[in-house]
Amino acid sequence: MDKEWTRNIQGIYKEYTRNIQGIYKEYTRNIQGIYKEYTRNIQGIYKEYTRNIQGIYKEYTRNIQGIYKEYTRNIQGIYKEYTRNIQGIYKEYTRNIQGIYKEYTRNIQGIYKEYTRNTQGIYKEYTRNIQGIYKEYTRNGQGMDKEWTRNIQGMNKEWTRNE
C-alpha cells in the first residue's frame, strides 16, 4: 500500500506540477500577449497622437499663413486706399490751386483791362479838354484880334476925323 500510495502521490505531484507549469506557461503567454497588445495599443495611441499633433500643427500653420495672407491683403488694401486718397487729395489740391491761379490771372487781367480802359478814357478826356481849351483859346485869340483890329481901325477913323 505504501508503494501504491507513493505512486499515487508521485502521480498527483507530477500532475500538479504539469498543471502548475501549464498554468505558468498559459499565464506567461497571456502576460506576453497582454504586453504585446498593450505595446501595440500604446504605439497606436502614439501614432494617432503624433498624427493629431501633426494635423493640428498643419492646420495651425495653414491658419497662421491664412491670417498672415489676409493681414497682408488688408494692409496692402489699406495702403492702396491710403495712396488713392492721398493722390485724390493731391489732385483736388492741384485743381484748387490751378483754379485759384486761373481766377487770380483773370482778376489781374480784368484789373489791367479796366485800368487800361480807365487810363485810355482819362487820356481821351484829357485830350478832349486840351483840344477844347485850345479851340476856346484860339477862338478867344481870334476874337481879341478882331476886337483890336476894330478898335485900332475905329481909333484911326476917329483920328482921321479929328484931324
The answer to the question of residue 2 being in a domain is no
The answer to the question of residue 133 being in a domain is no
The answer to the question of residue 94 being in a domain is yes
The answer to the question of residue 150 being in a domain is no
Domain count, the chain: 1
The answer to the question of residue 81 being in a domain is yes
The answer to the question of residue 153 being in a domain is no
Query: pLDDT tens, position by position, for the chain (163 residues)?
Result: 788 888 898 999 999 999 999 999 999 999 999 999 999 999 999 999 999 999 999 999 999 999 999 999 999 999 999 999 999 999 999 999 999 999 999 999 999 999 999 999 999 999 999 999 888 888 887 878 788 888 888 888 888 888 7
Q: How far is CA 84 from CA 6, 78, 128, in A?
A: 112, 10, 64
* Domain assignment of residue 102, given as a range: 7-112
Burial 106-115 (b: 16+ CB within 10 A, else e): eeeeeeeeee
The answer to the question of residue 162 being in a domain is no
**d(C-alpha 160, C-alpha 148), whole Å:** 18
The answer to the question of residue 44 being in a domain is yes
**d(C-alpha 135, C-alpha 152), whole Å:** 25
